[in-house]
Amino acid sequence: MKSTDYDPKLRECLREWNDKTKRKIIVLDDDPTGVQTVQDIEVLTEWNKDLLREAFRQPHAVFYILTNTRSFAAEETERINREIARNVVEVAKEENTDFEFISRSDSTLRGHYPLEIDVLADEVFLQTGRTYDGHLIIPAFFEGGRITRDNIHFVKDGEKLIPANETEFAKDPAFGFTHAHLGQWVEEKSEGRFRKGDCVYVSLEQMQQGAEAVQGILTEITRNKPVIINATSYEDLDVLSLALKRVEEKGKRFLFRTAASFVKSYGGIGVQPFLSKERMLTLGTETHGGLIIVGSHVQKTTRQLQALLDGKQVSPVEMNVEKILNQMQRDQEVGRLIDQVNKLIKDGQDTVLYSSRKLITASSKEDNLSISQKVSTALTDIVQALQIAPKFIIAKGGITSSDVATKGLSIRKAKILGQAAAGIPVWLTGEEAKFPNVPYIVFPGNVGTDQTLREIVQTLSGK
């Protein structure tokens, strides 16, 4: 299972195909980690028509829109997707440019499915009359050790492949699930609207027969059926992408519910090395401390945080979550943290600001999302109050990194420089940001080994 298993000539062919058709591939990303396989393209954190026009006029076929919908309840998620679809359709008509939507979500199966696919299909039909023949479900993320084999989605842990329903991610208080077989997962998440037997399955054996075999399957799909894609390498996804281009030329239309790897293949995006230390540091801030912000509560993040703290190379600043959730104590706690973080960064101390590790949960999905939002808002209030630019900025966790980007750093548009390590993207902030032209490292909560956070900080700090 190597993320480098791909045919450079085929990938270049896919890129040229996109350039020739001039259509836009628009990735709606439900948290900021979805750019973890790409480089040299733009991500928007807003979707007004002016920003969309700019994105449509860029030469690259692919751009991302950060929706952050994994942090919202269903009603707000629907509103956001409808608004984006309406604006995209209007701008696409103005620019006389076709488009495809990819709904990028978590590689461990958490998120608003089938809601987001349903809303996009419905709104595009309302605005254009376009219908979709199917929606492809592709959670493979090779850089993070996620593959699909025999219709079962696996998560790599060390040398073991574990069915996704046996991992901690399946117990997510907002987006938990009980099945790793993707047909059963679809039935569970759609509450029986799509049955396991309604799904179309593309096997590894069919992938290995080549694009023509896959074309034959895709050609027969109608009425927006769920299509389960098995994939264990980029070779598989490139075969799929080639088959898709061929059937799309003949009029077939699909939506995509995917993790990050498919975008790299379908977009014809090549491979580049991980970024050097120099490309991840803020110029002119050599005497300042770096800032690591940790909000995610998955066990992997807690282990990574502990390894960083054990190294005793950073100054720890712990946010008391119970105080943040207490209306009487919140402001005092945030004020204490602002003073402490600003002083440490000014004094040249690399600083980790983290939420206390005691997980506080509620009885409902909506209340759990509310707790996450309150913690994330407190963290972004501290970032907003930074007096000088840190030497480097790392945000750990999807909701945390999204809120730090949009609310803390006021990013409206950023360029993706590449990756700090496998699956860990680096943004370059835009001119409008609180700190312009600053690298911003987005570290997903469920990526890396226990030592990866510590290793990246060691690299950046030179310690």
Give 119-144 as a 3 state SS string.
Answer: HHHHHHHHHHCCCCCEEEEECCEHHH
Q: Specify the pLDDT at position 3.
A: 46
Tell me the β-bridge partners of 315. 351
Looking at the structure, do residues 331 and 195 belong to the same domain, yes or no?
no
Q: Specify the pLDDT at position 1.
A: 39
The values of phi and psi at residue 388, to 5°, are -135, 155
Q: Specify the pLDDT at position 368.
A: 82
Tell me the β-bridge partners of 324. none
The CA dihedral of 300, 302, 305, 307, to the nearest 10 degrees, is -70
Please indicate, yes or no, if residue 202 is contained in any of the structural domains: yes
Looking at the structure, do residues 291 and 361 belong to the same domain, yes or no?
yes
Please indicate, yes or no, if residue 2 is contained in any of the structural domains: no
pTM: 0.92
Q: Specify the pLDDT at position 372.
A: 83
- Sheet of 146-149, strand order: 146-149, 152-157, 160-163
Please indicate, yes or no, if residue 272 is contained in any of the structural domains: no
Final residue in a domain of this structure, among 238, 266, 294: 266
CATH number of the domain encompassing residue 213: 3.40.50.10840
Distance CA 65, CA 56 (A): 12
- Residue 358, number of CB atoms within 10 A of its CB: 9
Query: Tokens representing 409?
Result: 């750093």
DSSP state of 408: I
Looking at the structure, do residues 306 and 401 belong to the same domain, yes or no?
yes
Looking at the structure, do residues 423 and 389 belong to the same domain, yes or no?
yes
Distance CA 382, CA 380 (A): 5
Domain enclosing residue 198, as ranges: 8-266
Q: Specify the pLDDT at position 446.
A: 87
Three-state SS annotation for 352-386: EEEECCCCCCCCCHHHHHHHHHHHHHHHHHHHHCC
Pairing of strands 62-66, 42-44: parallel
Distance CA 443, CA 424 (A): 5
Q: Taking a C-beta distance cutoff of 8 angstroms, is the pair 232, 149 a contact? A: yes
- Which stretches in the chain have pLDDT values below 70? 1-4, 463
Final residue in a domain of this structure, among 210, 242, 266: 266
Looking at the structure, do residues 187 and 144 belong to the same domain, yes or no?
yes
Q: Specify the pLDDT at position 293.
A: 97
Query: Tokens representing 16?
Result: 């040229």
Looking at the structure, do residues 327 and 187 belong to the same domain, yes or no?
no
Please return the burial class of 297, using the count of CB atoms within 10 Å of its CB with bins 0-12, 13-18 and 19+: buried
Please indicate, yes or no, if residue 436 is contained in any of the structural domains: yes
CATH number of the domain encompassing residue 388: 3.40.980.20
Q: Specify the pLDDT at position 215.
A: 98
CA angle at residue 415 from 413 to 420, to 5 degrees? 130
Domain count, the chain: 2
Looking at the structure, do residues 304 and 369 belong to the same domain, yes or no?
yes
Q: Specify the pLDDT at position 363.
A: 76
Query: Tokens representing 459?
Result: 């690299």
Q: Taking a C-beta distance cutoff of 8 angstroms, is the pair 453, 305 a contact? A: yes
Looking at the structure, do residues 258 and 290 belong to the same domain, yes or no?
no
Distance CA 86, CA 23 (A): 17
Q: Give the residue from 259, 248, 310 showing the smallest Cα distance to 140.
A: 259
Q: Which residues contact 151 (CB under 8 A, 6 or more apart)?
A: 181, 182, 183, 201, 228, 230
List the beta strands (DSSP E) in 280-370: 291-294, 315-319, 351-355
Please indicate, yes or no, if residue 231 is contained in any of the structural domains: yes
**In b/e form, how buried is each residue of 248-263, taking b as 16+ CB within 10 angstroms?**
beeebebbbbbbbbbb
Pairing of strands 99-104, 24-29: parallel
Please indicate, yes or no, if residue 3 is contained in any of the structural domains: no
Please indicate, yes or no, if residue 413 is contained in any of the structural domains: yes
DSSP state of 117: H
Tokens 């407190």 locate to: 378
Distance CA 345, CA 342 (A): 5
Looking at the structure, do residues 88 and 164 belong to the same domain, yes or no?
yes
**In b/e form, how buried is each residue of 153-186, taking b as 16+ CB within 10 angstroms?**
bbbeeeeebeebbebebbebbbbebebbbbbbbb
Looking at the structure, do residues 177 and 316 belong to the same domain, yes or no?
no
DSSP state of 251: T
Please indicate, yes or no, if residue 86 is contained in any of the structural domains: yes
Proportion of the chain above pLDDT 70, given as a percent: 99
Final residue in a domain of this structure, among 225, 240, 266: 266
Looking at the structure, do residues 214 and 308 belong to the same domain, yes or no?
no
Q: How many helices (H) and strands (E) does the chain have?
A: 15, 18
How far CA 158 is from CA of 144, 234, 383, 443, 448, in Å, comes to 11, 21, 34, 19, 10
Looking at the structure, do residues 327 and 376 belong to the same domain, yes or no?
yes
Distance CA 461, CA 463 (A): 5
Distance CA 142, CA 313 (A): 31
